[in-house]
Amino acid sequence: MVSSARQELIAMLVVLFGEAIARDPELTALTDRAIAEEAAVLAEGYRVEAAKRIEALNAQLASQATSFDQSLEQVREHAAADSIEDLRSARANVETLTAQLAEMTRERDELQSKIEGIADRIREAQSLARTQLEEAQQRATELEEALATSSASLRETEFSLTETKAALVEATALAEEAQTSLNKYQVETLTEAITEAMSAYRARTDAIAAENEKASRTEDARLTAAVRKAFHALSHKK
């Protein structure tokens, strides 16, 4: 069952931080320990006051015992003097003192029992506080270890990302260099093919002008071969 102190504390934490934080197990352990420590302080104060009260009762009992002895002595004296009224009065005093002694003894015993119960609760609260403190320390150690592991993993990831980035930069540079070289080679090949084709075309034109059929067929074959060579070179290098 949740104590009234815990209920009030939870309600206050809910208002300040919200339901999830207010009922967090670690926070609950800390607040329970604080409540137990506060209860121990209050109980210790009550125990001190009760001890003072018992001391006062013991003093009263001692005083009443002295009065009781005096009353008994009076009873004996009155009995020896055959004074009935004085004897009755002394007897009444003895009975009153006896009742007072019984009441003070009962009160003292009750206080002593309460002190013993308070001492037991103090020991229980201290034991609970020690247990919760050990659990909180264990949890803190686990969190520190997990944080250290996460930090190491993060550093490894950062190092790996740095290496990957460097590799990407290098690969990009190589790709750009290869693209530049390829474009340059393609331009040179195309220029060479066009030059050969133009030479073949001029030779064909010259052959037609000279009406040399044989030369014309030869130049046709040369033109066709030059064009095929050019396109073959382009398609092969793409």
Predicted TM-score (pTM) of the model is 0.33
Give the structural domain span for 187.
171-237
Verify that 175 and 144 share a domain, yes or no: no
- Asked which of 23-32, 39-48, 169-178 is least confident by mean pLDDT, the reply is 23-32
pLDDT at 135: 73
Tell me the CATH number at 32: 1.10.287
pLDDT confidence bin for 192, thresholds 50/70/90? confident
The pair of three-digit structure tokens given for residue 118, joined into one six-digit string? 């308070």
Verify that 135 and 101 share a domain, yes or no: yes
Query: Dihedral through CA 19, CA 24, CA 28, CA 30, nearest 10?
Result: -120
Question: Mean pLDDT throughout 206-223?
Answer: 61
Give the residue from 138, 166, 194 where a domain finishes: 166
Q: What is the C-alpha separation between 107 and 147, in angstroms, rounded?
A: 59
Q: What is the C-alpha separation between 136 and 181, in angstroms, rounded?
A: 66
Verify that 114 and 68 share a domain, yes or no: yes
Verify that 208 and 228 share a domain, yes or no: yes
Integer-rounded Cα Rg, in Å, for the chain is 56
Verify that 24 and 93 share a domain, yes or no: yes
Q: What is the C-alpha separation between 233 and 238, in angstroms, rounded?
A: 9
Verify that 192 and 103 share a domain, yes or no: no
Verify that 129 and 151 share a domain, yes or no: yes
Q: What is the C-alpha separation between 27 and 34, in angstroms, rounded?
A: 11
Domains identified in the chain, total number: 2
Q: What is the pLDDT of residues 136-188, one digit of tens each?
A: 667 767 767 777 777 777 677 677 667 767 766 776 676 677 566 656 666 66
